[in-house]
Structure 1
Amino acid sequence: MMEDVEIRDDMVRLGQFLKLAGIGGTGGEVKELIADGLVDVNGEPENRRGRQLHRGDIVTLDGESFRVA
């Protein structure tokens, strides 16, 4: 199942997006998830918290997918 997460601007950073999606309550938790290699962007592992995401990108964590909308 895929959940759409609305963003206000044309771009959002991965760390910000995860917080918007309700994943990881704090920046530290989000940083740890990314550093541990648990986050995929468009099917590829991503370890950069500052990775730019655009509408249509898919972020996956623990079998849950979130689309930038």
Structure 2
Amino acid sequence: MSLHNFELTREFITLDSLLKLLTIAPSGGIAKMMVACGEVEVNGEVELRKTRKMRVGDVVRVHGEEIRVSAGS
């Protein structure tokens, strides 16, 4: 499993934007499809909301990748 640490510099980032920004999904449309198909877990539970607001402390798992959202500067 690959581990990514994403430093959040604002209040939140949407789940689909996070997947696209880290190139786990090649496009926003693919990111939304991955979420809609139940391929993404947030904090240990399958997440079906494409635009869920990801905040500091959230952990995302998808396709052998883990993303930890931390506080940035």
TM-score (norm. length: structure 1): 0.88
Count of paired positions: 69
**What is the rounded CA distance, in whole Å, between the counterparts of 2:20 and 2:43 in structure 1?**
18
- Please, which moves more after superposition, 17-26 or 51-60? 17-26
Question: Which aligned pairs between 1:34-45 and structure 2 lie closer than 5 A?
Answer: 34-45=35-46
- Please, which moves more after superposition, 19-28 or 37-46? 19-28
Percent identity of paired positions between Structure 1 and Structure 2: 38
Unaligned runs of 5+ in 1: none
1:67 offset after TM fit, Å? 0.7
**What is the rounded CA distance, in whole Å, between the counterparts of 1:60 and 1:51 in structure 2?**
14
- Please, which moves more after superposition, 22-31 or 33-42? 22-31
- Please, which moves more after superposition, 36-45 or 21-30? 21-30
CA contact (8 A) 1:21 1:66 kept: no
2:11 equivalent in structure 1 = 10
**What is the rounded CA distance, in whole Å, between the counterparts of 1:36 and 1:67 in structure 2?**
22
**Segments ≥4 residues shifted beyond 2 Å:** none
CA RMSD of aligned residues (A): 1.2
SS of the residue aligned with 1:25? coil
Unaligned runs of 5+ in 2: none
1:59 offset after TM fit, Å? 0.4
Cα deviations across residues 4-60 of structure 1 (Å, max 9, x unaligned)? 012321211111111122111111111111111000000000011111110110000
